[in-house]
C-alpha cells in the first residue's frame, strides 16, 4: 500500500526541481498527480515518464486564476477528483532594498504570494467536495529569519506562512489540513547556477555557471551545520509526510527543512 493510494494531487512548478521530485515520489506512493508549470516541454517530459495513468501535465501560470481553474478541471476530469495541492511554484530575485525596482518586487509578489493565494482559493472548495485532503504551501527559511538581498522574496514567503495559518483555521472544520514547508538552500535550478545553465534558462555560460556553483557550495558549506545544500528529494519527503495520514493531526504549521541553518550561527 502506498501512502497516497487513492489521492489526486495538483503540484505547481512541477516541471523541475522540488516540484518534479514531489510528483515522482507521490506517483511512487500510489498517488495520481497533475503537474502544472509554464515550462511545457520539461513538464510534459516528467508526466510522460510517470505515465498517463498516474500523471497529466497542464500549462499553469500561477498568476492567472483562469489557469488554476483549468488545472483543477483537468484533475477532476481525468482522475475524478482533486484532494491535494502542493503550492510549489516560485521565483527568486536578489537585490538590495533600495535598489529593488517596484516592477521586480511586484513580479515576485505576483508569482510567489498571489500564486499561492490563488491555488488555495481555487482548490480548497474542490478538496472539501472530495471529502477532505491537504494543502502544502512552499515558503522558505527566509520567511522566518532575515537574509540580506531578499526583501521581495522574504516578504512573499513570510506572507505564505501567514496565509497558511489563516487557511488552516478556516478549513480545519471542512476536512482540509494546511501546512507550510520552509526549505533552506536546496540544490535546484533556482539556486544552482550550473543546473540553470544546463537547461538554457539562465543566459549564463556553462563554464561560468560551474564556477559559480562551486562558490555557492562552499558558501553554504560554511553556513549550514550539515555542510551542504539540501536535495529536492528531501523536500519531497517532507511534502509527502504533510500530504498523507502520517500527519493527520498536524495543521497550520511551518516546517523548516534546512540542514540546521536556522539553529544558529556556527563559530567552529
Angle between helices 40-50 and 17-28 (to 10 degrees): 20
- Extract the C-alpha cell encoding 35: 503537474
Cβ pair 120, 85 in contact under 8 A: yes
> From its phi and psi, is residue 17 left (phi > 0), alpha (psi between -120 and 50) or beta?
left
Look at the block and give the residue holding cell 503537474. Answer: 35
Taking residue 183's Cβ as centre, other Cβ atoms within 10 Å add up to 26
Taking residue 120's Cβ as centre, other Cβ atoms within 10 Å add up to 24
Taking residue 56's Cβ as centre, other Cβ atoms within 10 Å add up to 22
DSSP secondary structure, 196-259, as one string: HHHTT-S---HHHHHHHHHHHHHHHHHH-TTSS-B-HHHHHHHHHHHHSGGGTT--S-EEEEST
Which of 57, 141, 153, 220 is catalytic? The answer is 153
Asked about 153 being catalytic, the answer comes back as yes
Q: Please classify residue 253 by burial: count the beta carbons closer than 10 Å to its beta carbon, then call 0-12 exposed, 13-18 middle and 19+ buried.
A: middle
Residues 121, 76: Cα–Cα separation, whole Å: 16
Active-site residue set: 153
Amino acid at each position: 500500500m502506498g501512502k497516497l493510494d487513492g489521492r489526486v494531487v495538483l503540484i505547481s512548478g512541477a516541471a523541475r526541481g522540488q516540484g518534479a521530485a514531489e510528483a515522482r515520489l507521490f506517483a511512487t506512493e500510489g498517488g495520481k498527480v497533475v503537474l502544472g508549470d509554464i515550462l511545457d516541454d520539461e513538464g510534459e517530459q516528467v508526466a510522460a515518464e510517470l505515465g498517463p495513468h498516474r500523471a497529466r501535465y497542464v500549462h499553469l501560470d500561477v498568476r492567472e486564476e483562469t489557469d488554476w481553474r483549468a488545472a483543477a478541471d483537468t484533475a477532476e476530469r481525468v482522475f475524478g477528483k482533486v484532494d491535494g495541492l502542493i503550492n510549489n511554484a516560485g521565483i527568486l530575485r536578489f537585490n538590495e532594498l533600495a535598489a529593488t525596482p517596484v516592477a521586480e518586487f511586484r513580479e515576485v509578489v505576483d508569482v510567489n504570494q498571489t500564486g499561492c493565494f490563488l491555488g488555495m482559493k481555487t482548490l480548497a472548495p474542490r478538496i472539501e467536495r472530495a471529502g477532505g485532503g491537504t494543502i502544502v504551501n512552499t515558503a522558505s527559511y527566509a520567511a522566518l529569519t532575515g537574509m540580506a538581498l531578499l526583501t521581495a522574496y522574504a516578504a512573499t514567503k513570510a506572507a505564505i506562512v501567514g496565509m497558511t495559518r489563516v487557511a488552516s483555521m478556516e478549513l480545519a472544520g471542512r476536512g482540509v489540513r494546511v501546512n507550510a514547508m520552509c526549505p533552506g538552500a536546496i540544490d535546484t535550478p533556482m539556486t544552482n547556477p550550473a543546473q540553470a545553465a544546463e537547461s538554457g534558462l539562465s543566459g549564463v555560460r556553462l563554464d561560468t555557471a560551474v564556477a559559480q556553483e562551486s562558490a555557492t557550495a562552499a558558501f553554504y558549506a560554511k553556513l549550514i551545520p550539515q555542510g551542504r545544500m539540501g536535495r529536492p528529494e528531501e523536500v519531497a519527503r517532507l511534502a509527502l509526510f504533510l500530504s498523507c495520514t502520517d500527519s493527520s493531526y498536524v495543521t497550520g504549521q511551518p516546517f523548516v527543512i534546512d540542514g540546521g541553518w536556522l539553529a544558529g550561527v556556527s563559530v567552529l
